[in-house]
A and B are shown apart, each in its own frame.
Chain A
Amino acid sequence: MIIAENLTRRFGDRLAVENLSVEIAEGEVFGFLGPNGAGKTTTVRMLAGLLAPTAGRAVVAGVDVCAEPQRVRSLVGILTEHPGLYEKLSAWHNLKFYADLHDLPNAEAQIEKYLNLLGLWERRFEPVGTFSKGMKQKLAIARALLHEPKVLFLDEPTSGLDPESAKTVRDFIAQLASEKRTIFLCTHNLYEAEQLCTRIGLIKQRLIKVGSPQQLKRELYGRQIVVDLKEPITLSEDLRLPFVRDVQADGRRLLVQLDDPEAQNPLLIKRLVELGAQIQFVREHDRSLEEVYLDLIAEEKA
């Protein structure tokens, strides 16, 4: 659904995005993470047919972004960094304006559908200036969806929302994903990325890493097993089975690095029992995406 090849964008001397290549399949929720100024918004603007790339090419929803930007714009939906609504106009007139620009034949039905879905129908005739931040954000999401785009770009959809509104928006995104839409999600919220995304791309001018949250964690840390014991044991050479990559003892807790815990755990546990260890719990150490993110960015800086 989205193919980018060596996408590059300069602003004067400043290189905002450099040689970005990525392929995103239909129905994927692709999380785009990176520090402030990393080039996320610039990438979205290029992929949505708003800004021309300085170099490289991209095909979105089957259309070349450089050759036919207008067609790309009619096929994709975008939630921009700022909601950018007309504050003096009502919610309804805001949406009607965009529906007309997209020349929708069923404009009013679409407006009603999305205002209802996002819980704004009751307040449709009130000026947007009187809306709360969360309501504006929801209205901007409705605006991005009116023409039923197959590809959706969401630039920080939950930034600045209270936890409850943020959850509503996240649930809504999950629902959109289940409708087979392709979603490109820029976010600083790593919990959100982990919850929603099938794959994650980490960008800092260049694309640093791409993979599912699981893959990124494993690639960075391998897989680690936590064994909780009743009594501490001393680490001996006996525990150094050939497949064990690393072992650390931390009081009554053992941290064991393995390549394939599914196959190797039974052997490890057997050996521990032979050594007289009294095992209480065995589980995989789950790293948060936040740790992965911070480590990868630190690595990039070094």
Chain B
Amino acid sequence: MTLKRINTVIVKEWREAFKGGKTFWIGTVALPLVLLGVSFFPFLYAGDLRGISTEETKELFEKVSMLFLTPLLFFLMFPMVIPHSIAIYAIMSEKEQKSLEPLLATPLRTDELFLAKTLASVLPALAITWIAFGLFLAVMQFLLPSTVLELAWQQFGSIWLMTLLLFAPLAATFMTLASMAIATRVSDLRTAQLLSSFAMLPILMSAFFLIFQNLLDKPALLGGLCAALLVLDIALLGLNVKLFRREEILTRWR
């Protein structure tokens, strides 16, 4: 395997995606931005909170702490929604353009191709999730007194970190691998999108369930979801390794 070839394919993938029109921009940039913006609204109603006393802050936090769960919802969503559009596109566009045969006629190895396509989808998903979280923190810093933020960090810090550092990579990998596997087998873009949405649903539902049941202050539950994702990821990896054999790509991807 050479890094140069993997890198070449990733860059090509992104260059193509950037020119990919509405679907790409809505799925990867517009949607996360809008969702992130929405998550700020509740805090805006909190009004100017700077300068309130510590006692009042504690009282206030008791009341608003649930508000911090809404943005979390979105940070659980981003790593799944973004690969959904990139990964499907990465496979479907090669199939539609019949570019796989000339591509495989180069010294490119199929494991390099697989790795490049996976990274091309997982990396931006993580980057956008993390940047969105950075934005979220920055805006909170601006809207809320630091004491409130400190209290929030005490209560939700471990969940946030777990979401960003554990759930996000596992979920992004899951959606990427699932979408790619589906895209190799389906000849129509809409069907692929529909099927991969079905794959996303159980994970998202579990995550939302955890939140609405107010269970997220028990990190073990999210840990359990991550463990389940890890098992799924490994299974999907095995499946994709089979699907990405040269023979398979040339004769059975439709």
Known interface pairs A98-B106, A101-B106, A101-B107; A82-B250 also in contact (CB < 8 Å) = no
Q: Is B98 an interface residue (CB 8 A)?
A: yes
Q: Is A23 an interface residue (CB 8 A)?
A: no
Smallest distance from the beta carbon of B106 to chain A beta carbons, Å? 4
Q: Is A85 an interface residue (CB 8 A)?
A: yes
In the complex, how many residues of chain B place their beta carbon closer than 8 angstroms to a beta carbon of chain A? 28
Q: Is B12 an interface residue (CB 8 A)?
A: yes
Q: Is A4 an interface residue (CB 8 A)?
A: no
List CB contacts (< 8 Å) of A11-46 with chain B: 11, 45
Smallest distance from the beta carbon of B80 to chain A beta carbons, Å? 26
Q: Is B102 an interface residue (CB 8 A)?
A: yes
Asked if A89 contacts B107 (CB within 8 A), the reply is no
Asked if B8 contacts A100 (CB within 8 A), the reply is yes
List CB contacts (< 8 Å) of A71-87 with chain B: 71, 73-74, 78, 80-87
For B104, the chain A residues whose CB sits under 8 A away are 50
A101 to B93, CA, bound (A): 19
Known interface pairs A88-B19, A88-B20; A143-B102 also in contact (CB < 8 Å) = yes
Asked if B102 contacts A78 (CB within 8 A), the reply is yes
Asked if B107 contacts A80 (CB within 8 A), the reply is no
A89 to B4, CA, bound (A): 20
List CB contacts (< 8 Å) of B1-33 with chain A: 2, 4-5, 8-9, 12, 15-16, 19-20
Instruction: Specify the chain B residue showing the minimal Cβ separation from A52.
Output: B247
Instruction: Specify the chain A residue showing the minimal Cβ separation from B104.
Output: A50
Smallest distance from the beta carbon of B127 to chain A beta carbons, Å? 22
Asked if A80 contacts B102 (CB within 8 A), the reply is yes
Known interface pairs A85-B97, A97-B12; A80-B105 also in contact (CB < 8 Å) = yes
Interface 1/0s, chain A 86-98, versus B by CB < 8 A?
1111000100011
Binding site secondary structure of chain B: helix
Q: Is B108 an interface residue (CB 8 A)?
A: yes
Asked if A84 contacts B101 (CB within 8 A), the reply is yes
Residue from B19, B105, B107 whose CB has the most chain A CB atoms within 10 Å:
B105
Smallest distance from the beta carbon of A292 to chain B beta carbons, Å? 31
In the complex, the number of residue pairs spanning A and B with C-beta atoms less than 8 Å apart equals 81
Instruction: Specify the chain A residue showing the minimal Cβ separation from B12.
Output: A97
Asked if B105 contacts A89 (CB within 8 A), the reply is no
Known interface pairs A51-B247, A74-B107, A88-B20; A80-B101 also in contact (CB < 8 Å) = yes
Asked if A93 contacts B106 (CB within 8 A), the reply is no
Interface 1/0s, chain A 59-73, versus B by CB < 8 A?
000000000001101
Asked if B107 contacts A11 (CB within 8 A), the reply is no
A48 to B246, CA, bound (A): 13
A93 to B14, CA, bound (A): 12
A48 to B102, CA, bound (A): 11
Smallest distance from the beta carbon of B187 to chain A beta carbons, Å? 16
Asked if A82 contacts B98 (CB within 8 A), the reply is yes
Contact among A50, A86, A88 with B250 in the assembled complex (CB-CB below 8 Å): A50
Q: Is B100 an interface residue (CB 8 A)?
A: yes
Known interface pairs A51-B250, A86-B16, A88-B19; A140-B106 also in contact (CB < 8 Å) = no
Q: What 20 new A-B contacts, CB under 8 Å, besides A86-B99, A89-B19?
A: A49-B105, A50-B101, A51-B246, A71-B107, A73-B105, A73-B106, A78-B105, A82-B98, A84-B98, A85-B99, A86-B12, A86-B97, A88-B20, A98-B106, A100-B4, A101-B9, A101-B103, A101-B106, A102-B107, A103-B2
Q: Could you pull out 12 A-B pairs where Cβ atoms are within 8 angstroms?
A: A70-B109, A73-B107, A80-B101, A84-B103, A85-B97, A86-B99, A88-B20, A89-B12, A97-B12, A100-B8, A101-B9, A101-B103
Which 10 interchain pairs have the tightest Cβ spacing? A84-B99, A82-B98, A100-B8, A88-B19, A101-B106, A74-B107, A84-B98, A84-B102, A80-B101, A78-B105
